[in-house]
Each structure stands twice: as structure tokens, then as C-alpha cells.
Amino acid sequence: MTNTISHPDSTILKKATDDAATNWEWWEDDYLYKGDFGALPILQTFSRFRGFGADYSVTRGLNSRECDEMRKWLTTFVPATELGRDQDEFNAQFVGFHEKCKVIEDNIRNELTTQKRVSLFSKLLGHWKPNEFAMWDQYARIGLRRIVGGNHYTQYKHYCRFNTDFHNLKRAWSGELSKISEERWASQTSDKDKIQERIELFMPRILDNYLVELGRS
């Protein structure tokens, strides 16, 4: 990855942190969850899963029956760890997931369906293991492309490149991300272990919101 921006813009970073904090309030139980994917809190009730889908705009095109069937199936899904680092492994996992989507849906309603589903898949994985899986988002991809250059991330098969570049950038900006994350959590608790845990989980959420904001600008 060629990082063409050595440091994040402070104004965008501040807004991204505020947005990430709002998102954290909604999904804190999922970010702090440490168990198997199928028991992720998001997946345990229809209302929570539907709310997640609405918040991230990833279940559009699914009616209530299809949405709940998808949720129930996801509780049985066992993704391989580290699959976000392996192109073939991720593609195999995603193809299996996407084929199930096609079975659940009455038909493939439009050409954007695959992109919607990789967005849903990645966002669930991103809540399950925030430091392994970046969230596939239209504006985040544009934002990352502006920084990295050369990678268009236009198809689901490009997810692993996007994921790798995202985490490389997170490491490159770790000083700034860690500092602003620590400031956020130190104001809320004096428990050093709790602060450190939240810093590590909050950093990718800040970066995700930063890229979305950059991509929209």
C-alpha cells in the first residue's frame, strides 16, 4: 500500500470519532462480544437484526420473512477465522453465503444484489471481529481509494485487497487513531484494562467513519 496521506485530517478525524461513538452506543454489545459468530447479539432476535439492516442499509430488498430466514440461517454459519486475509478463503465463504441469499430470495432482483450482500456479510463480520474485517461500504471504498490510489475495489472479489489496505492504513495511522480513541474512553472510565480493550476495538470504527466521510466529500 502506498499511503499518499501521511496523517489524517484533524477535522475529519474529530467528526469520524463522534460518529463512531454514536454507532458504538447502538452496537456496543456486539463489538465487545467474544464468542462464536452464530451467537452474535445482532443475530439473536428479528427486531435487532432488522434494526441492524436498516441502520446499515444492508437488508433492502428482503421482506420480513426473508430477513428472518436469513437471520436464522446466519446463526448456523461458521466463518473461518482470518478469512479476511485470504482471497480464496473469503471468496469461498462469500459464495456460500451469497448462494444461500439466492435461495432465500425469490430471485436476484437487480445487478446490485451481490454488492449488497457482501456489504451485509462484511458488516456482520466487522462487528464480530472489528480488527480482522473491514466493512465493505461504497463511500469507505471511495475514501480509501483516494488515500491508497490504484485500487478500485469495485467487485466483491476485491474485498480482501480492500480489507488488507484498510488494516495497513489503520497501522500507519495508529498513533492518531489510538490517541483520539484513548481520549474518548479515558473521559468515561478510569479502568485501564477497559480503556485499552475499547481503544483497540474503537480504532477501526473511527477509521471506517473517516473513510466514509472522506468518500462523501
Give the distance, in angstroms, between the CA of residue 205 and the centroid of all CA atoms in the same chain: 8
The pLDDT of residue 169 is above 50: yes
The pLDDT of residue 164 is above 90: no
CB 145 within 8 A of CB 162: no
pLDDT confidence tier of residue 84, bands split at 50, 70 and 90: very low
What's the confidence (pLDDT) of residue 212?
97
Residues 6+ apart with CB under 8 A from 125: 37, 79, 84, 132, 133
DSSP 99: H
CB atoms within 10 A of CB 175: 11
Higher pLDDT, 97 or 67: 67
- Domain residues of the chain, as ranges? 10-216
**Which residue from 162, 196, 160 is spatially nearest to 181, judged by alpha carbons?**
196
pLDDT confidence tier of residue 70, bands split at 50, 70 and 90: confident
* Interval 89-106: pLDDT, tens: 566 666 666 666 666 655
CA distance 180 to 95: 38
* Interval 10-66: pLDDT, tens: 999 999 999 999 999 999 999 999 998 899 999 999 999 999 999 998 888 788 988
* Interval 200-210: pLDDT, tens: 999 999 999 99
**This prediction's pTM:** 0.85
CB 68 within 8 A of CB 104: no
Q: What is the mean pLDDT of the chain?
A: 83
Beta-strand ranges (E) seen in the chain are: none
CB atoms within 10 A of CB 195: 19
The pLDDT of residue 110 is above 50: no
CA distance 20 to 22: 5
- Grid cell, residue 97, equals 453465503
Through-space distance between the first and last CA atoms of the chain, rounded to whole angstroms: 22
